Amino acid sequence: MEKFEESATDKLFEKKLINKVQREQIIAHRDLNIFSLNTELKLLVYLSVLLFTSGIGILIYENIDSIGHIAILTLLLVVTAICFYFSFKNSIGFQKQQTNFENPIFDYLLLAAVLLSIIFIGYLQFQYTAFGTHYGLATLIPTAIGLFCAYYFDNKSILSIAITGLAAYIGLSVSPKSLLSNDFHNTASLSYSAIGLGFLLIIWSIYSVKIDLKKHFNLIFLTFALHLISISCINNLFASYWGIFIILLAISSYYFYTTSYQIESVSIFVFTILYAYFGINFLLYKIIVAIDLTDLLSSFFFVVPFYFVASIVLFIRLIKNFNKKTSDDRI
């Protein structure tokens, strides 16, 4: 990291973007080894919000008979209303560009409000079936609240919750366990829905850039879209019509590969390479099976270790080239 910083400083000096005095000041400042606790403090506040909302859930579960349903709902509603009140009071209002609270503590207060509203609506539906048999409304309403709060208050964490709620509304449960097991594999329509949602997120991210609406949200939209589309395509590679999905995976991989350079996102770049690598290996397997190279299997197993070693080396080089190119572009 230190070598990278020194190299970046030298490049700025060589391009005459800073003078010799400024270069020496930058080096002297780095030699002080000053570091910020901002990230650590925010993590502790985030954990405290999660522990608080989890504690509310445990309190409801363990004392549901003694406290009473009306009392629990009233308590949830009051606490949620208080959190929303202070969030709106200290907000600067909706802006198309990136905004922040003057005090970051209100971001976590807003997160608590959204999580508590989800608990309130879920509990209301579970206990009183307030929405009747329209169970999707119990998911759609918190999702709508989350999307509104994410855009109004400019909160990425709440946006992630809202997109997860949107996926749950169409029948998906966006978690590693549910995506790699359960009904996702057994129900083809779920994977189709996931692909459709992924493309909708891509279209919305492109449109957001066009109208200059919260462009910094694009990384979240594209991250969800990448995983939804890629995992769904990989899931359908084991079906009889796998050819369609290998093409779709190739197209999406190319799109996310080029986009990762545009938005300088190493996470999207890495996962795109991994998903594309799986697709390439699957295609090679299909070719080997189709040609029936049974006589060359012994030689094939001899080559496999070298193939994986070469793949690892190539992967590392791709990451290095990505970091170098994006670093040079920023400079």
Please write the tens of the pLDDT for every residue from 69-82: 777 788 888 989 99
Structural domain boundaries, residue 10: 1-35
Residues 108 and 52 in one domain: yes
Residues 132 and 62 in one domain: yes
Between CA 286 and CA 238 the distance in angstroms is 11
For 162-189, what is the mean pLDDT?
A: 64
Q: Is residue 114 part of a domain?
A: yes
Residues 62 and 136 in one domain: yes
Task: Tell whether the model's pLDDT for residue 174 goes beyond 50.
Answer: no
For the record, the structure tokens of 48 come out as 């405290």
Residues 58 and 22 in one domain: no
Could you give the number of structural domains in the chain? 2
Residues 46 and 147 in one domain: yes
Question: Residue 221's pLDDT band (boundaries 50, 70, 90)?
Answer: very high
Phi, psi of 180 (to 5 degrees): -100, 5
Residues 89 and 156 in one domain: yes
Question: Residue 182's pLDDT band (boundaries 50, 70, 90)?
Answer: very low
Number of Cβ within a 10 Å radius of residue 281: 13
Q: Is residue 6 part of a domain?
A: yes
Residues 11 and 46 in one domain: no
Residue where a domain terminates, one of 116, 142, 169: 169
Q: Is residue 159 part of a domain?
A: yes
Question: Residue 295's pLDDT band (boundaries 50, 70, 90)?
Answer: low
Q: Is residue 197 part of a domain?
A: no
Task: Tell whether the model's pLDDT for residue 26 goes beyond 80.
Answer: no
Residues 161 and 90 in one domain: yes
Half-sphere exposure of residue 114: CA atoms within 13 angstroms, side-chain side: 30
- pTM comes to 0.80
